[in-house]
Amino acid sequence: MKKILLNLIIIPLLLPGSFSCQPGLKPSETHSADIVIYGGTSSAVMAAVQAAGMGKSVVVVSPDTHLGGLSAGGLGWTDSGNKAVVGGLARKFYQRVYKHYMKEEAWKWQIQSEYGNHGQSGHSMDDTDAAMWIFEPHVAEMIFEDFVRESKIDIYRDEWLDRENGVIMKGPSIKSIQTLSGKVFKGKVYIDATYEGDLMAAAGVSYHVGREANSVYGEQWNGVQTGVLHHSHYFEKDVSPYVITGDPSSGVLPRISTEDPGEYGAGDHRVQAYCFRMCL
């Protein structure tokens, strides 16, 4: 299925050139590397580690201060499915999770023997492959930080792309990018490893926002899916959307839409909600 927003794209720099500062911005330091990665997600870290392992110079320009994206931001219950297909650096990540939780001091809220060892599609701790698929988000962040430290990767945090004027193009290729702080980054290859695809959009890459209708690509599970319940993990009891429970005349709670979701299989303009995750 064609994704709404690509998480990762490589944009090669074909032609070198000089850089001139954007109007209104003071000249600032310029950083050059073979590969410039924009984003602080898990894919940004893994792309940087892989590039460094291949002998390339790499710099990560992260709008986030914390590395790891969803993995470090609250999503510790991995949607792993068939774990046999997880390999490469991803498997090394989960093996490091396992190694961490083999330490007695890692268990702060319960002892390991009391842990139920339940995960998606089997056990969360796999002693055979020395991998663990469920973790506390701060452990994920620690592991990502270990990866970049071991690979000696330069990370520039809280650096937001100037989306209006910060992407300098020559034809279809990127010459340099500039952040809102004025820092300039030049590379031979650029990787957009954000969830939003801001660098791709600023570079003129076409994109689509919202669901695509089934008819666009002849698929089944895109588009509006009214009345389709794939999973069993729903609320056991109905949750009232109204200000006064069960009273439609009281109006709905904030951020709840009363719009009709649309026809089954149709496209729409909606995107997923950005949510806060709390660890319990």
Encode pLDDT of 89-105 as tens digits: 999 999 999 999 999 99
Map tokens 């007695």 to a residue.
Answer: 104
pLDDT, position 232 = 66
Helix axes 42-53 and 137-150, enclosed angle (nearest 10): 20
Hey, which bits of the chain come out as E strands? 9-12, 30-38, 58-61, 118-119, 122-123, 125-126, 131-132, 154-156, 167-170, 173-178, 184-192, 242-244, 247-252
C-alpha–C-alpha distance, residues 131 and 142, integer Å: 16
What integer is the mean pLDDT of 82-94?
A: 93
52 domain residue, yes or no? yes
Count Cβ atoms below 10 Å from residue 126 Cβ, excluding itself. Answer: 17
In this structure, the answer to whether residues 167 and 268 fall within a common structural domain is no
What integer is the mean pLDDT of 135-150?
A: 97
pLDDT at residue 18 is higher than 80: no
Q: How confident is the model at residue 114 (pLDDT cuts 50, 70, 90)?
A: confident
In this structure, the answer to whether residues 219 and 280 fall within a common structural domain is yes
In this structure, the answer to whether residues 194 and 238 fall within a common structural domain is no
pLDDT, position 226 = 82
In this structure, the answer to whether residues 65 and 173 fall within a common structural domain is yes
17, 64, 260, 273 from 228: Cα distances, Å: 53, 36, 15, 19
Contacts of 130 (CB under 8 A, 6+ apart): 95, 98, 99
15 domain residue, yes or no? yes
The boundaries of the domain holding residue 227 are: 210-280
Number of domains in the chain: 2
In this structure, the answer to whether residues 190 and 223 fall within a common structural domain is no
88 domain residue, yes or no? no
58 domain residue, yes or no? yes
Q: For residue 20, give the amino acid letter.
A: S
